Amino acid sequence: MCGRYSLLCIDDLGNRFRVHNPMIGSRSRFNISPGTRQPVIVAGAGGRELVQMQWGLIPGHVIASGTSRPFINARAETLTERPVFARLLASNRCLIPASGFFEWKQVRTKKIPYYFHIPDQPVFAFAGLWDEWQDPAGTVLPGYTVITTEPNSLVASVHTRMPVILSRENEALWLADGSLPQGSPGMLLTPYPPEAMEMYPVTDLVNTPSVDDERVVRPLPSSAGMQTFLPE
């Protein structure tokens, strides 16, 4: 599961993803949680577009109700088996800009948060799906879900799942118009190479979604220079 991530240096989103960036001047987000509105890259009629969507996808065909539960994650291994995701996989793929993500490791009676990032990539992209849903008041609400896969060896030391991080080459393939070639989801939605990533423990302030500042992505003082440190 991916339940929290960050997006830093967002003024450069336009150059990074080759889109007009209406978020220039907006602040970085250090502790993004489900239910908030975040930038997503979709394929529009005139090319790539950056749009704001809610993290949490409610399928468009779902009848509006107070019990509609949004999907914040979708498993890569079962996308084609679940009708709700198979339909979106054919036409509603998106890129979700991110700078890192958080996972928690159970150590005795405590869960310790860890931050995962790619040192040489200030911004990268998760693979995602999106859809539009209409609430009881008739308002159309676009939402997205982060696709997850089996963890690489680095993430596996902390958690059993990780978000799909796309290479730049695969970003273009994922966002291309039309259905993906047969077999390509399995080739695109794979764990990111662990040797390209770093992780370190961070403050448990990240457990509180309202704490959204750089403190939550700083290494704990005891782990400085020890990106692969794990408590026993």
Question: How do beta strands 110-117 and 100-107 pair?
Answer: antiparallel
Per DSSP, 57 falls in state: B
| CA angle centred on 149, ends 224 and 166, rounded to 5° | 75
179-182 long-range CB contacts below 8 Å, 24 or more apart?
Answer: 179/90, 179/91, 180/89, 180/90, 180/93
198 counts as catalytic: no
DSSP states of 68-99:
PPPBSEEEGGGTTTSHHHHHHHHH-EEEEEES
- Of 49, 77, 103, 171, the active-site residue reads 103
94 counts as catalytic: no
User: Would you state the structure tokens that stand for residue 54, as one six-digit string?
Assistant: 């809610």
Among residues 83, 167, 161, the alpha carbon closest in space to that of 129 is found at 83
- When computed from its CA atoms, the radius of gyration of the chain, rounded to whole angstroms, is 17
- Of 2, 77, 132, 198, the active-site residue reads 2
Residues paired with 111 in a beta bridge: 106
- Residues that are catalytic: 2, 103
